[in-house]
Amino acid sequence: MIHPLVLVVAWSLAAVPAPPAAVGDSLPLVLRPAGVVATSAAGRGQVIEPSGVATDAFGRVYVSDAALHRLQRFDARGLWLGEAGVLGSGPGELRRPGAVALLGTLSVAVLDRENRRIVTYDLFGRLIGVLVDLLDDALASEVGRIDPSALAADRGGALYLVDADRDRLLVFDFSGRFLRSVGGFGARPGSFRGLAGVATTPRGELVTAERANRRVQRLDAGGRVVATWPLVVRPGGAALPVAVDDSSRVAVADEAGGRLWVFDGRGRPLAALAGLDGPRALAFAPDGTLLVAEASAGRVSRLKLVPASRPPVAPGE
């Protein structure tokens, strides 16, 4: 029997997404195109390698670009609002920025990967400063070397940083103070192998995705496992971005395989899609649409979840 997770929909994507093929009856929802926020077309708002995406309560979209070394802002309709950052390691400069997370209601946090720091901006794109210096001697003496690869924040402003080198989550409070680590290498519940994605739920839980263990785990704030389910991915170093909506539905993408799944909070598959081009970041918008940043395509687009169409029932059936 074919597992429902592998019943994905082939979707041919161009600069403007084409309608996907119909989903099989085994999944109750399908993902449909709902607009494009940014593409690789030259001009204001151009993206080359979008690597992080987040939205605020007004629907504004924040996109980091690892190739352009900047953070860009768009309104809910996809109109370009502004940008911040240039290549470098000084104040206001970025070097291959990655994940973006809304930090409370007034700022966004950006993982400045190659500068080994987390920087914050206000909602108008103005630099606030360095929140966490991952090269800080005091932090290094407490937790050792850190290989930052993904970032999430809860509604209280706590930050959860994926340390890919040690398969753990490092937790910081809203001021950037280190609190604790969660997980560590292993296959047991609450441990990680190939940790490659994290998100928070409206209730303050954590959702993680692992390549080597090929699973999703939902953890409470203390790191105890609430639910777990399998994920059909191959081991490797590519991202497994995770996003959670207000209904606790979980979206997970496979950057290497170009696939996307949506599950309910217990891991039941709801929708699936294939044919994406390097999906590296996900975020649910306030209107319920799902933002997908495709790093290999230079595109940030929207998808919406709609009920799967059912074939008409013949009389007498």
> Which segments of 16-135 are extended strands (E)?
29-38, 50-55, 61-65, 70-74, 80-84, 97-103, 107-112, 117-122, 127-133
- Domain residue limits, the chain: 4-14+45-300
Whole-angstrom Cα distance, residue 39 to residue 302? 12
Is residue 301 a contact partner of residue 37, using CB atoms and an 8 Å limit? yes
> Tell me: the pLDDT tens digits for 28-85?
999 999 999 999 999 999 999 999 999 999 999 999 999 999 999 999 999 999 999 9
Position 315 scores a pLDDT of: 54
Say how many C-beta atoms besides its own lie within 10 A of residue 219's C-beta: 22
Q: Is the pLDDT of residue 23 over 90?
A: no
Residue showing tokens 């891991």: 267
Whole-angstrom Cα distance, residue 278 to residue 293? 8
CATH number of 4-14+45-300: 2.120.10.30
Q: State the burial class of residue 24 (Cβ atoms within 10 Å of its Cβ: 0-12, 13-18, 19+).
A: middle
Is residue 306 a contact partner of residue 77, using CB atoms and an 8 Å limit? no
Position 222 scores a pLDDT of: 80
Q: Is the pLDDT of residue 9 over 50?
A: no
Over range 160-184, report the average pLDDT.
97
Which residues pair with residue 251 across a beta bridge? 243, 262
pTM over 0.85: yes
Q: What confidence category does residue 8 fall into, taking pLDDT thresholds of 50, 70 and 90?
A: very low
- Percentage of the chain beyond pLDDT 90 is 86
Tokens, residue 219: 């953890």
Virtual CA dihedral for 40, 197, 85, 67, nearest 10 degrees? -40
Q: Is the pLDDT of residue 204 over 90?
A: yes
Q: What confidence category does residue 272 fall into, taking pLDDT thresholds of 50, 70 and 90?
A: very high
